Amino acid sequence: MSQHKIFRQFFDKVSCTYTYLLADLTNKVAILIDTCQDCVQRELKTIEELKFEKIFLLSTHIHADHITGNALIKEHLGQTRSKSVISKYYEQAKADEKVGEEDSLSVGAFKLNFLHTPGHTSGCLCIVDHENRRVFTGDTLLIRGCGRTDFQGGSSEKLYDSVHEKLFKLPPDYTVYPAHDYNGKTASSIGEEIEFNPRLSKSKAEFVDIMSKLNLAYPKLIDVAVPQNLNCGYADKLTNGKSNGNHAP
Amino acid sequence: MSQHKIFRQFFDKVSCTYTYLLADLTNKVAILIDTCQDCVQRELKTIEELKFEKIFLLSTHIHADHITGNALIKEHLGQTRSKSVISKYYEQAKADEKVGEEDSLSVGAFKLNFLHTPGHTSGCLCIVDHENRRVFTGDTLLIRGCGRTDFQGGSSEKLYDSVHEKLFKLPPDYTVYPAHDYNGKTASSIGEEIEFNPRLSKSKAEFVDIMSKLNLAYPKLIDVAVPQNLNCGYADKLTNGKSNGNHAP
């Protein structure tokens, strides 16, 4: 194949999560953003077919609605072929590498930057790919929506500031790739969200009021997902076992 | 917004159909490929937000599993703002314009070409966007699969020839955007399908044998969807009524 770089979006129909693959086919390295435990076989099949020698497993945040697939992928590929990366703004989170706003990550032909965007959770990161004019916004900014702010150190005020002071300062043509969509939309743009986001185009006071009245149900998986995701997707039983032996905090 | 062209993929969770939007924001014109009746409100909202003055409604083929949204979109936008386009290789199909391999369609900054790829149905078209190195393959070529060949003039032999003689002759880096995926994958490439498609990487004889043994259920919606889709999505009751009065064959 003559192709050099590919970009792919994957969808988990159960949790409506998007997983993203950024792959440098020449150098045989790839990045996966926000994997799902239930979809690991699909992603491993792609890794096998395209013969990646090393995979970087990035998370935009500690998810509460699904378990990351990072542990299973690391189990399968081994420590030398896989590296998990998590926000340094979660004190308790474990991964092979922790990153913050001052860091960048170069993987083959890709260079990614990070924005710390607290609000949905305290440690949320948005991942910016300036060269390809796109940003992976996790649950901080969804298409015509945003993540809830009522757990994991969430704060409506902080989310509003993160979006307005950081995401909405990106060029308006940057494509927005969220961690979820529940209506079959796959992408948006910064410009569209500035203009049409029904929550975040409002004033901060209106936004905080909207968020305070959402009355959302307690997330079904949160009590399982958050502790496990803080541990890179490893279940407690593995944490002290050999499977997690070379999994550095 | 400073952006000029956008490309968006939409997903219908019921029929697992992908609808594609190619939009020229400067000239306020857009193309929608393979709309779904059940998702029309979502697409109309996008059309309204981005203020498109004219929309071209293309179909890769006469779908048997869902009803096109083209009629409802035309009803909403009116004849001057919308134009339906269908394959000329379906004698019975009605649309504002019928196109074949010798035609191209220029809509703002986009120029699309067509490949006649019979096999899933007799009149299937694949839509090629050479400038952006992508092809919309309908049900002719799916990600690691292909459409069934047992109705609507389908033929396994013809599908194999269409894929090998036309689609697989495209450059290997061209992105493949199918009409469906049932496993959360959103795109592939010509090169990947040449190498990894479990059916179409086989010999023609093996492919025909595989297809003859699929034993698929009769499509639930086919008896409603096909006649209605041959009529641009208009139900029979509208065909002779005023709603369809200016809908040319």
| Of the listed ranges A234-248, B80-94, B96-110, B172-186, the one predicted with least confidence | A234-248
- In this prediction, residue A44 has a pLDDT band, given cuts at 50, 70 and 90, of very high
Contact B10 A187 (CB under 8 A): no
Q: Is the pLDDT of residue B2 over 60?
A: no
Give the pLDDT confidence of A222-238 residue by residue, as tens digits. Answer: 999 999 999 999 986 44
Tens of pLDDT, residue by residue over A85-137, are 999 999 999 999 999 999 999 999 999 999 999 999 999 999 999 999 999 99
Contacts of A3 in chain B (CB under 8 A): 172-173, 189, 191
Which of chain B's residues have a Cβ under 8 Å away from the Cβ of A15?
none
CB contact under 8 A, A172 and B1: yes
Q: What is the CATH number of the domain that holds A184?
A: 3.60.15.10
Q: Does A130 touch chain B (CB under 8 A)?
A: no
Q: Is residue B182 part of a domain?
A: yes
Domain-embedded: residue A180: yes
CA count, 13 A, side-chain hemisphere, A165: 12
A160-164 mean pLDDT:
98
- At residue A226, the 3 state secondary structure works out as helix
Task: Please count the structural domains in chain A.
Answer: 1
Report which residue type is found at B16.
Answer: C
The whole-number average pLDDT for the span A167-191 is 98
Minimum-distance CB partner of A1 among B2, B10, B172: B172
In a domain? residue A235: no
A54 located within any domain:
yes
What pairs with residue A142 in β-bridges? A145
| pLDDT at residue B243, rounded to an integer | 39
Instruction: Kindly provide the b/e burial profile for residues A114-153, where b requires at least 16 CB atoms within 10 angstroms of the residue's own CB.
Output: bbbbbbbbbbbbbbbbeeeebbbbbbbbbbbbbbbbbebb
Residues of A in contact with B1 (CB under 8 A): 172-173, 189, 191-192, 195
Report, in angstroms and rounded to the nearest whole number, the Rg of chain B calculated over CA atoms: 17
Q: B2 and A173 in contact by Cβ < 8 A?
A: yes
Within a domain: B247: no
Mean pLDDT, range B63-72, rounded to an integer: 96
Taking the C-alpha atoms of residue B185 and residue B196, their distance in angstroms, rounded to an integer, is: 14
Residue B42 is assigned to a structural domain of this protein: yes
What confidence category does residue B175 fall into, taking pLDDT thresholds of 50, 70 and 90?
very high
The answer to whether the Cβ–Cβ distance between B171 and A2 falls below 8 Å is yes
In a domain, A127, yes or no: yes
Instruction: Report pLDDT for A242.
Output: 38
Containing domain of residue B154, as a range?
5-213
Q: Is residue A19 part of a domain?
A: yes
pLDDT in tens, B106-146: 999 999 999 999 999 999 999 999 999 999 999 999 999 99
Radius of gyration of chain A (CA): 17
